[in-house]
Chain A
């Protein structure tokens, strides 16, 4: 009975986004998956980068023949699409949709997919999103129990992150407003922003809160249950560690958005060499500093806590 109960528990879903391409999302996600799998947790990685699925490369395996296309077109069950990742306890499901453009997924199809993802038989489901802030990407991002963003210490990446988080938050609000028959309130406010003297994110939030008591309650609830987990990748100096703290502070003080800074990974040229050789870095260099940093941040994510300031 107890075993059964455990198997029927829903997996915890982690999604990785962050707006900009090339910040190392897929590398971080596959490495965290390996960390979890090595701890004996059952993990399924989903490559939802519908445009360019390549998670398999990070694991050094060939592109699986089956993908989400079969779920949509041939009605194959989701668990049957999970292929062996080459690593014990870890499966891989790729999202390459050849015949469908990423925009072509119907709303109902999307909901069905999300429902099935939540029922996958695993402890952790890690979903890799492509770059960009398309609303399909956003909805998948928001599906998570833990929403993770990966940035690098470059101004464009940070700029994109702010944009991405603001969009994700509004999508989060809009999705719940639908149930109140208020779906268009946010768009309308933004459309008529000049009239309402709205110049930025926080003014829009304030305006929406001022509309009615109901709106205020919804926004406040959504603000309190929204939390992004920040990972700072590819740092070059120890001074750059603090960029994570800074971004977290800006999100809170300027936008009112909560986040946790779970860790950083320093630059290591060996990583791209590993990727090019289709070798998994975590397995090839388990004792490296980066591997240890990834282990630490995975642990922080599991616990839902910030990077510790003490060693």
Chain B
């Protein structure tokens, strides 16, 4: 990809030079939704913008995203090799639907597979990064009281577009087991 294309694509996705793959992915998803759905941001100018202009913008967004993905392809291939020893997670959506156990470790793997930083989740969910880490480590002791932890896990799951009810029920079953154990000891 030429230098001009690279900057043009990033401009289309409204990102600075050197944006990471996860930033690119996030921007792409955000813009695609913005220009294909109605919202309070687009409704006021609905009558001003023709369908053709919208389609064109969506095409540009798509082209930019696909173009930028290519430049990360090489990196991804290496990642793929490294991960080949881990259980195959070829089709993320498929896998996450099939999954029934959502341990902290499993959540972390899904997150890493999506190339999402904990900071991204923290910013959007407003759950402190340290708590997110503790969730992934199942470091129950460090997590806040049950009701809060439950909320944090739901936010985390929603951010990854997982079925949050399934995730939180499974996750909190281990939390409760730990809590019972812990209280017995006291």
Q: Is the CB of B14 within 8 A of A248?
A: yes
- A163 to B35: give the CA distance in the assembly, Å: 20
Question: Once the chains bind, are A243 and B120 in contact (CB under 8 Å)?
Answer: no
| A214 interface residue per 8 A CB criterion | no
Contact among B31, B49, B120 with A254 in the assembled complex (CB-CB below 8 Å): B49
Interface residues of A in 184-236 (CB under 8 A from B): 199-201
Residues on B with beta carbons closer than 8 Å to the beta carbon of A246: 30, 34, 39, 41-42
A238 close to chain B: CB less than 8 A = yes
A156 smallest CB distance to B (angstroms): 8
Nearest-CB residue, chain A, relative to B11: A252
- Other 5 A-B pairs with CB < 8 A, given A158-B41, A309-B123: A155-B43, A246-B30, A253-B57, A254-B48, A311-B119
Complex CA distance for A249 and B42, rounded to whole angstroms: 10
Instruction: Give the residues in chain A near B34, CB-CB below 8 Å.
Output: 246, 249-250
What total of chain A residues lie within 8 Å of the partner, measured CB to CB?
26
Q: Which residues of A contact B (CB under 8 A)?
A: 153-155, 158-159, 162, 199-201, 238-239, 241-243, 245-250, 252-254, 309-311
A115 to B19, CA, bound (A): 42
Residues of B within 8 A of A245 (CB): 14, 30
Interface size on B, residues (CB 8 A): 27
Grouping DSSP codes into helix (H, G, I), strand (E, B) and loop, the B interface class, with mixed when no group exceeds half, is helix
Question: CB-defined interface of B16-47 with A at 8 Å, one 1/0 digit per residue?
Answer: 00000001001000110011000111111100
Let me know if A158 and B40 touch, CB within 8 A: yes
Instruction: Collect the chain B residues with CB atoms within 8 Å of residue A243's CB.
Output: 40-41
Q: Mark B119-160 against chain A: 1 for CB-CB distance below 8 A, else 0.
A: 110111110010000000000000000000000000000000
- Contact sample, A vs B, 5 pairs, CB 8 Å cutoff: A158-B41, A245-B14, A246-B30, A310-B117, A310-B123
